Structure 1
Amino acid sequence: MSRGITVRPALCIGCSTCVLTCSLHHTGEFNRQKAHIRIIIDEFNGYYQIGLISTCRDCGLCAASCPTGALSRQAETTAKGGEAAGGSRAL
């Protein structure tokens, strides 16, 4: 059973650590196009949208590598008494 990933776009700084971690783990190379997660950047408004594409395996490495907590495992959020935040699950 998949625990899923909670996305908090307001915490994202656009560093792409999650994207590069995902692609390296699943393909053996740093390639944004092969990652199972996407970051859409609105530079004008300073906003980042995070989307986990349908091929995401919910391994949680993106959440573990996120330096700001913009991504987390849902089980961690529930255990800490937090509430699930908005965001994109699939693009």
Structure 2
Amino acid sequence: MNKMNKWNRLFIRQGFMVEEKSFNVFDCTSKTNENMEFLLDGLRKLSIIFTYENSILTISNEPISEDLCLKCFDLKDRGRGEGLWFRHLVEYS
């Protein structure tokens, strides 16, 4: 594992902008339920020990390697739906 990795850095690299309140404790109030389900499912697949309560994510494990994180969260066509809600405004203007 690269000792420079921190959970916050890994989250940012995957597009999860969450605020680190203290060491390995993250405020996820700005995330949608769907985004949090995706993140929490990924953490479970990686066998990461965590708690998630009242939009606060607390991780007990040391950060994993960036390669392992990328393999878990990098899905085909991921992110393609982002921002499409406004597309009709551009296409029909």
TM-score range relative to shorter protein: 0.3 to 0.5
Higher-helix-fraction structure: 2
TM-score by length of 1: 0.37
Q: Larger RCO: Structure 1 or Structure 2 (Cα < 8 Å, ≥ 6 residues apart)?
A: 1
